[in-house]
Amino acid sequence: MCGLVVAVGYTALPYGWVSLTVSTAVSAGSCVVMMAGTRRNRPASAGNWYLFVSGVATWILGDIVYAVQILVGGAAAFPSWADALYLGAYPMLTVALFRLTRERRTDRGFLSGNLIDSAIIGVGVGIVYWTFMIEPVVTDSSIPVLTRLVTAGYPTVGVLLCAVITPILLRRGPRSPSLWLLTAGSAITLAGNISYTLLPHAVDPVYLYAGYLVAYTCWAAAAAHPSMARPVTGDRDGLGRSRLLVLTGSTLLVPAVLLVQGEHGGGRVSWAAVAVGSMALFVLVATRMSGYVSRVDIQARQLRELAMRDDLTGLPNRRDFEQRATLAVQTAPCHMIMIDLAGFKHVNDRLGRAVGDQALIAVAELLRQSIRDGDVVARMGADEFAVLVHDTLPGDGEAVAGRLAEVLRHPVHAGEHELLLNARMGVASSAPSALPATSSGPRLSSISSSALPSSSTSSIADRAGTGSVSGASSGVSGVSLDGAAELIRRADTARYAAKTSGGQLVEYTPELDERTEAAERLGADLRHSLDDGDFQVVYQPIIDLRDDRPVAVEALVRWTHPVRGPVSPAAFIPVAEDNGLIVELGEWIMRTACRRLADWRTTLGAEAPLYISVNVSPRQLSEPGFPAVVLAILAETGLEPAALLVEVTETAIFGGGTAIEAVETLHRAGIRIALDDFGTGHSSLGLLRTVPVDVLKIDKSFVDEITEPGRRAVVVDALIHVCAGLDLRAVAEGVETAEQAEYLRELGYHYAQGYHFGRPVPDPITPVADTLPV
């Protein structure tokens, strides 16, 4: 700003010692400021700044020499020392400017785009200057050689300046304040040089000098600004529109010269210069373009790879997998295996994402090692993987699936942890012959479809006309395989069946689709029934074997489907569990049961059951607010915590995480905990020591053994000792005969429930005498 004012003032001064002093002060001051700025800001490119200052200083010296010559001798000699200084200054300035404005490049070794651009501009402009200004002077033998050389020197350095500064003006990307000032100073210098070279008499030298003074101060400010220490960043010599325009323009200068000379040159054509120039330009442009094209190529390839790869595991992602599967299905028979890690959520919850990530990487590595070359393993989603197996030989798919199942049965290592991830796998084959074969003889592991009602029965959704699930029947059994998507869907259906049945590996059969469909319909119907109040809670007495009197009741839910009639909880609880409705339904059951016990207490007094046993599903347990809901229900019904017993399954708490925390919270509050169906799940006696348990419910299958011919009551006998040793109460379930009851009594069992004592009914306690007329 200061420099600008001085420069404007300078133009008003008459040319003389005063103006010389002023201009020298400004220019020398600028040099000092540049030196000081470079010292203070410590840029990595300090050497270039010093070179730049040297260039400016040399130039200023030239100015002074020139001015002194005029003021002392009345006119400047030509050529003089001033010219030597000027011409010496330009190379320093241009080299320093080029290096100061060059971007930091990582991929060295390649000719930088900026350098080539400068060269293209230089050659283009150079041809023009050469043909019209330099060549005529240099070849004019009437002028002394030195004068010729010096005269030609100015347009030559002009070309240099133009070549270096034009790319700076056109560069894209952000400019720091320092770079802006550098650019501005350079632009002024370029303009000055062009006007001096092309039209020496058009501009009053005073304005020219004033312009240079402004340029000096711009440069001084550029060096003083702290941002000068930052490396220059940009879009790495990308080809902007204006830059492309200038480069094209520069290349067109050569034919333009030919044209002008041909028209007006009287037959004199600088064919040598034009030819050499065009060749040089051609090579430069080709180099520039090939560098650019190969970079675009590399970037395109990187982008493609990124889009097809899973970041965490490095496996192909879903998109890539689907493309490969599409190709594979068209060419040869293959097997699709879908895998999901049921235990993964717990790992993430309990041990954190970092361990979860390690586990996924470990699984990815295991899978990669377990497949053959040519087969594909991919990560499809958070904890989902897929494997495509080419059936080179019959049975390949089954073999790989079996091997993967075996590998995934073992714990994986993640950091210092050993994690059991509970992989569920579904397999589907693309071979058409596989369909009828499997549908006639299901090869499912641990799936019984009898629990679900037939899909041909109409549903509430149909009846209500919502159509949400009706008409979804696809009649899959007769449909031919339409590509990879269908194969993936089938494997996914099988995987889902593995998940709901608790199995590890399930092979797809068309009837799985019917099951899935029936489950979906049932889920929709559950929603309607929950709103319409089609549910009821029934109670089965729990008996004290020592006096055969009921001490408690277990609450069991009943659903009367408006169309189908009664539906077994064994059929709809898993569905409600899966679609989340169990949370709402379970809360309703809990509230209903607790209210019921409170009612019995007021009507029956001492005859009321001591406590009520309520089944709680895994999904409810892992719901974060579950313990609070239970405590609120106890508070609103006025029951003390000991009046409630919560039945959970071993499987629900085996996974750990929120479920175990919920059980612990409930137990701390005074609510008792029972392990239901004990002996059928994971049956880890270790669980009994780590989880607070008060009651073991011995599964009906062990009670059945008592009276089965040829079998002895080994398990019930052993379990009563376990309970005694761990100070747990044992309740034998499913007692159907007096003989079983007697045997259990002899073994030392105190509590039992079963049809022998009473079925689950709406009102098991009210004494018969009360309801009958006397």
Residue closer to Ca ion, measured from CB, 222 or 573: 573
Which of Ca ion, ligand C2E, none lies near 734, with the C-beta cut-off 5 to 8 A by kind? ligand C2E
Binding site partner of 568, from ligand C2E, Ca ion, none, Cβ cut-off 5-8 A by kind: ligand C2E
CA distances from 736 to 6, 499, 732 (A): 112, 32, 11
Picked from ligand C2E, Ca ion, none, the partner binding residue 313 (CB below 5 to 8 A depending on kind) is none
Residue 556 interacts with, from Ca ion, ligand C2E, none (CB under 5-8 Å by kind): ligand C2E
Tokens 């990669």, residue?
368
Which tokens go with 423? 């992989």
**Residue 749: C-alpha distances to residues 12, 698, 721, 740 (Å):** 118, 11, 10, 11
Element (H, E) at 384: strand 384-390
- Which is nearest to 195 in space by CA: 169, 162, 226? 162
Question: According to CB under 5 A, which residues from 119 to 178 bind Ca ion?
Answer: none
**How many CB atoms are located within 10 Å of the residue 762 CB?**
11
677 binds Ca ion (CB under 5 A): yes
For the CB of residue 736, give the shortest distance to Ca ion in the complex, in Å: 14
| Closer CB to Ca ion, 117 or 677, in the complex | 677
Shortest Cβ distance from residue 589 to ligand C2E (Å)? Answer: 4
How many angstroms separate the CA atoms of 9 and 27, rounded? 15
117 binds Ca ion (CB under 5 A): no
Main-chain phi, psi angles of 238, to 5 degrees:
-70, 160
> Does 676 contact Ca ion by CB under 5 A?
yes
Distance separating alpha carbons of residues 106 and 626, to the nearest angstrom:
57
Strand order in the sheet with 505-507: 376-381, 384-390, 334-341, 423-429, 505-507
DSSP symbols for 309-348: B-TTT-SB-HHHHHHHHHHHHHHS-EEEEEEEETTHHHHH
Distance CA 540, CA 764 (A): 7
| Smallest distance from Ca ion to CB 633, Å | 18
Query: 122 is in the binding site of which of Ca ion, ligand C2E, none (Cβ under 5 to 8 A by kind)?
Result: none
Residue 422 contact partner, candidates ligand C2E, Ca ion, none, CB within 5 to 8 A by sort of partner = none
Return the number of the residue (274 or 557) whose C-beta is nearest Ca ion: 557
Angstrom distance (rounded) from CA 653 to CA 629: 19
Residues that bind ligand C2E (CB under 6 A): 540, 555-557, 568-570, 573, 586, 589, 615-617, 676-677, 734-736, 753-755, 760
Q: Which is nearer to ligand C2E, 210 or 593 (CB)?
A: 593
Coil, strand or helix at 498: helix
Nearer residue to ligand C2E within complex by CB, 62 or 609: 609
Identity of the residue, 336 or 728, whose beta carbon is nearer to ligand C2E in the bound complex: 728
Q: 568 or 690, CB closer to ligand C2E?
A: 568
Site map (CB under 5 A) of Ca ion, residues 678-717, x = contact: ----------------------------------------
Query: Which residues neighbour 480 within 8 Å (Cβ) at sequence distance 6 or greater?
Result: 432
Q: DSSP letter string over 631-693?
A: HHHHHHHT--GGGEEEEEEHHHHHT-THHHHHHHHHHHTT-EEEEEEETSS---HHHHHHS--
Shortest CB 757 distance to ligand C2E, Å: 8
Q: Which of 19, 615, 620, 740 binds Ca ion (CB under 5 A)?
A: 615
Quote the least distance from Cβ 509 to Ca ion, whole Å: 30
Considering beta carbons, is residue 193 or 620 the nearer one to ligand C2E?
620
CB of 648 to ligand C2E, least distance (A): 9
| Nearest residue to 733 (alpha-carbon basis) of 715, 709, 712 | 715
Selection from ligand C2E, Ca ion, none that 754 binds (CB < 5 to 8 A by kind) is ligand C2E
What x-and-dash track marks residues 330-369 binding Ca ion by CB under 5 A?
----------------------------------------
Kindly state the smallest distance separating residue 586's Cβ from ligand C2E, in Å. Answer: 6
- Any residues with CB less than 8 A from the CB of 202 and at least 6 apart, and which? 195
Residue 491 Cβ vs ligand C2E, minimum distance, rounded to whole Å = 29
Q: Which is nearer to ligand C2E, 347 or 674 (CB)?
A: 674
Instruction: Please report how close the Cβ of residue 678 comes to ligand C2E at its closest, in angstroms.
Output: 10
Scanning residues 714 to 753, which ones bind Ca ion (CB under 5 A)?
733
The DSSP letter of residue 231 is: P
Which residue in the block uniquely carries the two structure tokens 């169309």? Answer: 563
Beta carbon of residue 676, minimum distance to Ca ion (angstroms, whole number): 4
Beta bridge partners of 122: none
In the three-class reduction of DSSP (H, G, I as helix; E, B as strand; rest coil), residue 500 is classed as helix
Out of 320, 492, 647, 661, which residue is the one contacting Ca ion (CB under 5 A)? 647
Note every long-range contact of 735-742, with CB atoms under 8 Å and residues 24 or more positions apart, other chains counting. Answer: 735/703, 737/707, 739/706, 739/707, 740/703, 740/706, 740/707, 741/545
Instruction: Pick between residue 397 and residue 586 the one whose CB is nearest to ligand C2E.
Output: 586
Residues lying near Ca ion in the complex (CB under 5 A) are found at 615, 647, 676-677, 733
